[in-house]
C-alpha cells in the first residue's frame, strides 16, 4: 500500500518538488519566498513560472487551464481556456505570466449580494500562490487548475477565499503578539491547522435518478421509515461492503493524486452513511482540499453506479450529515498552542489561549451558528443526532476541573489525571486512560489538542466557519495583548486575566448531554442564545458587533458582510422554492395519480368481489379505501395551500421573502408530506411510483 501512496501522492500537484525540478534556481527561490511570506507574485518571474507549469501540465495530458475559484455559491467555479495560441499561422501552446496571475471572468451571474449589478460584470480572479496549482483529471480530459481569489472591480471580495486569507493574517498578527510575551521571540509565522471530517450518504444511481427530490434538491422530500432504520446500530463502524470499498479506494487514490491527505474512512451511524477524514493541514489548503473532496466523492460515485449525497439531511428519521471542523493554532516552531501538556494547570500559555477561545465563542455564538449553517442544516441541528442550535463548549473533566479551581480561587493547583483502566481480563494489559472522555453531543468540543466545531453543515464550504473562528479569536487576543503588553508584572496580570475571562464566560462550558431537553432549559437560564433556524441567525452577520470586529481586523467590510447576508437570504428562498416546487410536481404527477389508481383498484375489487359472492365481507377493504381516500384529500388540501403560498412568495424579496418561505411555505411542505408518507404504508408496492427509503438505504450494494 505504501508503494501506491508513494507513487500517487501529489502526482497531480505542482508542488515544491516539481517547482524545484522545473524552475531555474533563482526563480524557484523567489517563488518559495513569495509563498512563505504570502506576498504577491513578482511579475518578473511570473512568465517563467507559468511556462514551467504549462509544460508540466501539457506533459500530463492537459489542454486547458482554468482559474479555480470559490464564489459565494459555496461550490467552486471554473472557466476553461485552452493553451492554444496562433503564431505565424500555426497553433502553439502558450501560457503567460499574466494569464497565470490574473483572470477576468464575466462574473455577472455569480451571487454578489447586491455588490455588483449585472451590467457591471467585471470580476477579477488572482492567483493565491499559497495554494498550489493542480491537474484535474476526468474522463473528459486534464485541466490545469490555478487556485485564485475572486473580487469585484471595486475590490470587494466576491468569494470565500479572500476573507479566509485575511482572517488567517489577522489571527497570525495577534498570536505573534501573545507568544512574544511568553518569550517565543523566534516564532515568525503560525499555521492555523484544520482537519475537516466529511460525512456523506451513498445510494444507487438508479434509485437516485428515479427520485426527483434527490435529483433536484439533494434530499428526500417524502418517504416513510422502513421497518428497519439505524436502531440496531449495526452500520456504525461495521464492515464496509465491497462495492463501497471499491468506491472508497478510487476516491482515496484520486485524492492522493491531488495531494489530499485522505486518511480515515468508516461507516457512519445511519444505513448508507459514511465518513472520510483527511490529516489536518493549513486552513487555506484544508478548505481547497475539502472542496476537492466533495467534488471527488460525487464524481467517483458515478463511476461505480452510485450517487453521493452531501446534503445535511437526505432522509428524515435517520442521522444527518455534518462536517467536523477540527481547528488549532500551531507555530512555525512546532508548538501547538492548544496542547495542554501533561500538567495543564501549570501551562498558562495554553490556559490563556483556551480562555481566549472560550470568550470568543461565548461572545459570538450566533455568528458561529450562522457560519456553520445553510438551509439544510435546519433539519439536522437539534434533531436527536446533531448538536443543538445552542452553542456550548465541551471541555471534559480535566480542563473543567481546572477552570473551576481558577474561577473559585484565582489559580489552579492540580490537574486530574486519566489513570489506568482495568479491563478485567488477566491476559490483557491495563490501558492508559485519557484524562477526558469524548462527548458526541457538543457543538464545540475540546478534543485533546484542538477544538472540534461539529455544527458545520456537510455540504457547505468550511471557509465561513474558519473565517469567523479565526477573526473572533484574533479579536479577543488583540484585547488580551493590549492589556498584557502594558502590564508591569506580566505573571500576575496573566493569572488575573485568565481568572477574569473564565469567570465571565464559564456559562458557555457544558459537558453534559446536549441532546436533552434539560439542557435547552438550562441554556436558557444561562442566557445562551438558541436561534432555531438558519434564517433567524442571518442577522448576526451584520450586527454592530460583527461589523466592528470584522472591520477592525480587515477581514470584511460592512458592505461585504451585508452582501453575504443578502446572499444567504437568497439562498434560503431559492432552496425552499425549489423544494416546494419539487414537492408540488411529485405530488401532482406521481403520488396523487398513483393513489387514485390504487383506490380505483380497491373500489373495482370491492365491486367484483361482491358480484362474485353477495354475502362476502369486504369491510376491511372498504376501510382501507376510505382511509386512503381521506389521506388523499388531506394531501390535496395541503397541495393547494402549498402551491398558493409558493406563488405568493414572489411578491417579496430579500429577508422578507426568506421569512415568508419559512413561515408560510415550509409548514405546508410538512403538511403535504405527512399524508403522503402515511399513504406509502397503505398503498400496494406495485403502485408506488418511486423507490422507498428501504430501497434507497438498503439497496446500495453487497
Ligand atoms: P476523532 O475526531 O474521530 O477523534 P481524530 O481526533 O484522530 O479523530 O482527528 C479528527 C481530525 O482532526 C483529523 O482530520 C485530524 O487530522 C484532525 N486533527 C488532529 N490534530 C489536529 C490539530 N492539531 N489541528 C487541527 N486538526 C487536527
Ligand atoms: Mg471527530
420 closest CA partner among 412, 404, 411, 431: 431
> How do strand 134-138 and strand 123-127 relate by DSSP bridges?
unpaired
Q: Is 620 exposed, middle or buried (0-12, 13-18, 19+ CB in 10 A)?
A: exposed
Q: Is 197 in the pocket of ligand 1 (CB under 6 A)?
A: yes
Q: Is 193 in the pocket of ligand 1 (CB under 6 A)?
A: yes
Q: How far is the CA of 266 from the centre of ligand 1 (A)?
A: 15
Provide the pLDDT confidence category of residue 189 given band limits of 50, 70 and 90.
very high
The length of the chain is 702
Q: Is 204 in the pocket of ligand 1 (CB under 6 A)?
A: no
Which ligand number lies closest to the CA of residue 450? 1
**Model pLDDT, residue 433:** 63
pLDDT at 504 over 90: yes
Atom of ligand 1 nearest to the CA of 438: 4
**Model pLDDT, residue 3:** 82
CB atoms within 10 A of CB 601: 15
pLDDT tens digits, residue range 341-356?
999 989 999 999 999 9
Q: Which of 193, 194, 195 to mutate to test the pocket of ligand 1 (most atoms within 8 A of CB)?
A: 195
Atom of ligand 1 nearest to the CA of 278: 14
Give long-range contacts, CB 8 A cutoff, 24+ apart: 280-283.
280/193, 280/194, 280/195, 280/326, 280/328, 280/450, 281/193, 281/194, 281/195, 282/130, 282/191, 282/192, 282/193, 282/194, 283/164, 283/168, 283/192, 283/193, 283/194, 283/327, 283/466, 283/470
Which ligand number lies closest to the CA of residue 451? 1
Q: Is 466 in the pocket of ligand 1 (CB under 6 A)?
A: no
**Model pLDDT, residue 423:** 54
pLDDT at 434 over 70: no
Residue 599 in grid coordinates? 383506490
Residue holding cell 430501497?
695
Average pLDDT over residues 503-512: 95
Q: Is 469 in the pocket of ligand 1 (CB under 6 A)?
A: no
pTM: 0.94
**Model pLDDT, residue 368:** 97
pLDDT at 126 over 80: yes
Residue 304 in grid coordinates? 461505480
Provide the pLDDT confidence category of residue 441 given band limits of 50, 70 and 90.
confident
pLDDT tens digits, residue range 382-392?
766 667 899 99
> How do strand 123-127 and strand 141-152 relate by DSSP bridges?
antiparallel
pLDDT at 421 over 60: no
Average pLDDT over residues 483-505: 96
Mean pLDDT of the chain: 92
**Model pLDDT, residue 419:** 62
For 269, 323, 326, 403, 572, the CA distances from 512, given in Å and listed in that order, are: 21, 21, 20, 16, 32
Average pLDDT over residues 221-236: 80
CA-CA distance, 20 to 52, in Å (whole number)? 11
Contacts of 500 (CB under 8 A, 6+ apart): none
Residue 531 in grid coordinates? 436561534
pLDDT at 89 over 90: no
**Model pLDDT, residue 86:** 84
pLDDT at 243 over 80: yes
**Model pLDDT, residue 171:** 98
Q: How far is the CA of 387 from the centre of ligand 2 (A)?
A: 13
For 28, 177, 187, 494, 543, the CA distances from 180, given in Å and listed in that order, are: 31, 5, 8, 14, 33
Residue holding cell 453534559?
512
Which ligand number lies closest to the CA of residue 263? 1
Average pLDDT over residues 434-453: 84
**Model pLDDT, residue 385:** 66
Average pLDDT over residues 579-583: 98
CA 582 to chain CA centroid, Å, is: 25
**Model pLDDT, residue 239:** 80
**Model pLDDT, residue 206:** 96
Atom of ligand 1 nearest to the CA of 280: 16
Average pLDDT over residues 183-203: 96
Q: Which of 236, 261, 277 to mutate to test the pocket of ligand 1 (most atoms within 8 A of CB)?
A: 277
Lowest mean pLDDT among 230-244, 418-432, 436-450: 418-432
**Model pLDDT, residue 361:** 98
Residue holding cell 486518511?
263
pLDDT tens digits, residue range 14-40?
999 999 999 999 999 999 988 887 777
Provide the pLDDT confidence category of residue 1 given band limits of 50, 70 and 90.
low
Average pLDDT over residues 281-307: 97
CA-CA distance, 23 to 51, in Å (whole number)? 9
**Model pLDDT, residue 483:** 97
pLDDT tens digits, residue range 594-644?
999 999 999 999 999 999 999 999 999 999 999 999 999 999 999 999 999
pLDDT tens digits, residue range 648-663?
999 999 999 999 999 9
Q: Is 450 in the pocket of ligand 1 (CB under 6 A)?
A: yes
Which ligand number lies closest to the CA of residue 456? 2
**What are the φ/ψ torsions at residue 276 (nearest 5 degrees)?**
-130, 130
Provide the pLDDT confidence category of residue 426 given band limits of 50, 70 and 90.
low
Higher-pLDDT residue of 106 and 275 is: 275
pLDDT at 372 over 90: yes
Which ligand number lies closest to the CA of residue 327? 1
pLDDT tens digits, residue range 64-82?
999 999 988 878 888 888 9
Provide the pLDDT confidence category of residue 516 given band limits of 50, 70 and 90.
confident
Helical H segments across 76-128, by residue range: 97-101
Q: Is 336 in the pocket of ligand 1 (CB under 6 A)?
A: yes
Q: Is 328 in the pocket of ligand 1 (CB under 6 A)?
A: yes
Percent of the residues in the chain that have a pLDDT greater than 90, as a whole number: 74
Q: Give the angle subtended at the CA of 200 by the CAs of 194 and 205, to the nearest 5°.
A: 145
Q: Is 322 in the pocket of ligand 1 (CB under 6 A)?
A: no
CA-CA distance, 582 to 597, in Å (whole number)? 22
Average pLDDT over residues 538-564: 96
372 closest CA partner among 389, 359, 353, 357: 389
For 2, 159, 162, 347, 556, the CA distances from 155, given in Å and listed in that order, are: 46, 11, 11, 43, 11
Contacts of 545 (CB under 8 A, 6+ apart): 363, 364
Q: How far is the CA of 35 from the centre of ligand 1 (A)?
A: 26
**Model pLDDT, residue 21:** 95
Q: Is 265 in the pocket of ligand 1 (CB under 6 A)?
A: no
Q: Is 449 in the pocket of ligand 1 (CB under 6 A)?
A: yes
Contacts of 146 (CB under 8 A, 6+ apart): 65, 66, 67, 68, 100, 127, 133
Residue holding cell 377493504?
621
CA-CA distance, 281 to 289, in Å (whole number)? 9
pLDDT at 137 over 90: yes
Cβ 116 vs Cβ 123: under 8 Å: yes
Q: Is 281 in the pocket of ligand 1 (CB under 6 A)?
A: no
Q: Is 198 in the pocket of ligand 1 (CB under 6 A)?
A: no
Provide the pLDDT confidence category of residue 117 given band limits of 50, 70 and 90.
low
Amino acid at each position: 500500500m505504501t508503494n501506491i501512496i508513494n507513487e500517487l501522492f501529489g502526482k497531480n500537484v505542482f508542488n515544491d518538488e516539481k517547482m524545484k525540478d522545473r524552475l531555474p534556481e533563482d526563480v524557484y527561490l523567489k517563488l518559495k519566498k513569495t509563498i512563505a511570506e504570502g506576498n504577491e507574485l513578482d511579475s518578473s518571474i511570473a512568465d517563467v513560472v507559468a511556462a514551467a507549469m504549462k509544460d508540466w501540465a501539457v506533459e500530463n495530458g492537459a489542454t486547458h487551464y482554468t482559474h479555480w475559484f470559490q464564489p459565494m455559491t459555496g461550490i467552486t467555479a471554473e472557466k476553461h481556456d485552452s493553451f492554444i495560441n496562433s503564431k505565424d499561422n500555426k497553433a502553439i501552446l502558450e501560457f503567460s505570466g499574466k494569464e497565470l496571475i490574473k483572470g477576468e471572468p464575466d462574473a455577472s451571474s455569480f451571487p454578489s449580494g447586491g455588490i455588483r449589478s449585472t451590467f457591471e460584470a467585471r470580476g477579477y480572479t488572482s492567483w493565491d500562490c499559497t495554494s498550489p496549482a493542480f491537474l484535474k483529471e476526468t474522463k473528459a480530459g486534464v485541466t490545469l487548475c490555478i487556485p485564485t481569489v475572486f473580487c469585484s472591480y471595486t475590490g470587494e471580495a466576491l468569494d470565500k477565499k479572500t476573507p479566509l486569507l485575511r482572517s488567517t493574517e489577522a489571527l497570525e498578527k495577534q498570536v505573534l503578539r501573545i507568544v512574544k510575551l511568553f518569550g517565543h521571540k523566534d516564532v515568525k509565522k503560525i499555521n492555523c491547522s484544520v482537519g475537516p471530517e466529511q460525512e456523506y450518504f451513498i445510494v444507487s444511481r438508479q434509485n437516485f435518478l428515479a427520485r426527483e427530490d434527490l435529483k433536484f434538491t439533494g434530499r428526500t422530500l417524502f418517504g416513510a421509515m422502513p421497518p428497519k432504520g439505524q436502531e440496531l446500530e449495526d452500520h456504525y463502524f461495521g464492515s464496509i461492503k465491497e462495492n463501497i470499498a471499491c468506491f472508497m479506494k478510487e476516491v482515496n487514490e484520486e485524492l492522493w493524486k491531488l495531494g489530499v491527505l485522505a486518511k480515515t474512512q468508516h461507516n457512519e451511524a445511519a444505513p448508507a452513511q459514511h465518513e472520510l477524514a483527511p490529516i489536518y493541514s493549513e486552513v487555506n489548503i484544508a478548505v481547497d482540499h475539502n472542496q476537492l473532496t466533495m467534488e471527488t466523492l460525487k464524481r467517483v460515485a458515478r463511476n461505480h453506479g452510485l450517487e453521493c449525497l452531501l446534503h445535511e439531511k437526505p432522509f428524515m428519521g435517520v442521522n444527518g450529515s455534518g462536517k467536523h471542523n477540527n481547528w488549532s493554532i500551531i507555530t512555525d516552531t512546532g508548538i501547538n498552542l492548544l496542547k495542554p501538556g501533561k500538567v495543564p494547570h501549570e501551562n498558562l500559555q495554553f490556559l490563556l489561549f483556551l480562555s481566549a477561545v472560550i470568550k470568543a465563542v461565548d461572545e459570538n455564538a450566533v455568528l458561529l451558528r450562522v457560519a456553520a449553517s445553510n438551509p439544510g442544516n435546519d433539519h439536522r441541528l437539534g434533531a436527536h443526532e446533531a448538536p443543538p442550535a445552542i452553542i456550548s463548549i465541551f471541555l471534559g473533566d480535566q480542563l473543567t476541573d481546572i477552570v473551576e479551581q481558577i474561577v473559585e480561587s484565582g489559580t489552579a493547583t492540580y490537574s486530574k489525571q486519566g489513570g489506568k483502566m482495568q479491563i478485567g481480563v488477566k491476559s490483557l494489559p491495563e490501558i492508559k486512560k485519557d484524562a477526558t472522555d469524548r462527548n458526541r453531543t457538543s457543538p464545540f468540543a475540546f478534543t485533546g489538542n484542538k477544538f472540534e466545531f461539529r455544527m458545520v453543515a456537510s455540504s457547505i464550504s468550511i471557509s465561513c466557519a474558519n473565517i469567523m473562528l479565526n477573526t473572533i479569536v484574533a479579536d479577543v487576543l488583540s484585547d488580551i495583548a493590549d492589556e498584557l503588553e502594558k502590564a508591569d508584572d506580566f505573571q500576575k496580570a496573566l493569572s488575573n486575566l485568565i481568572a477574569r475571562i473564565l469567570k465571565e464566560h464559564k456559562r458557555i462550558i457544558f459537558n453534559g448531554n446536549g441532546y436533552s431537553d434539560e439542557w435547552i432549559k438550562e441554556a436558557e437560564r444561562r442566557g445562551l442564545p438558541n436561534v432555531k433556524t438558519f434564517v433567524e441567525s442571518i442577522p448576526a452577520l451584520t450586527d454592530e458587533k460583527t461589523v466592528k470586529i470584522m472591520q477592525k481586523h480587515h477581514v470584511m467590510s460592512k458592505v461585504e458582510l451585508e452582501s453575504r447576508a443578502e446572499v444567504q437570504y437568497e439562498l434560503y428562498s431559492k432552496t425552499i422554492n425549489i423544494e416546494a416546487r419539487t414537492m408540488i410536481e411529485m405530488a401532482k404527477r406521481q403520488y396523487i395519480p398513483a393513489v387514485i389508481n390504487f383506490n380505483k383498484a380497491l373500489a373495482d375489487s370491492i365491486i367484483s368481489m361482491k358480484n362474485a359472492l353477495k354475502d362476502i365481507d369486504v369491510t376491511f377493504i372498504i376501510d382501507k379505501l376510505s382511509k386512503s381516500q381521506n389521506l388523499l384529500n388531506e394531501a390535496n388540501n395541503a397541495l393547494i395551500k402549498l402551491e398558493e403560498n409558493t406563488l405568493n412568495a414572489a411578491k417579496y424579496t430579500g429577508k422578507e421573502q426568506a421569512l415568508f418561505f419559512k413561515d408560510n411555505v415550509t409548514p405546508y411542505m410538512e403538511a403535504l408530506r405527512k399524508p403522503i408518507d402515511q399513504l406509502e404504508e397503505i398503498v400496494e408496492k406495485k403502485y408506488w411510483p418511486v423507490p422507498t427509503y428501504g430501497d434507497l438505504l438498503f439497496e446500495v450494494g453487497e
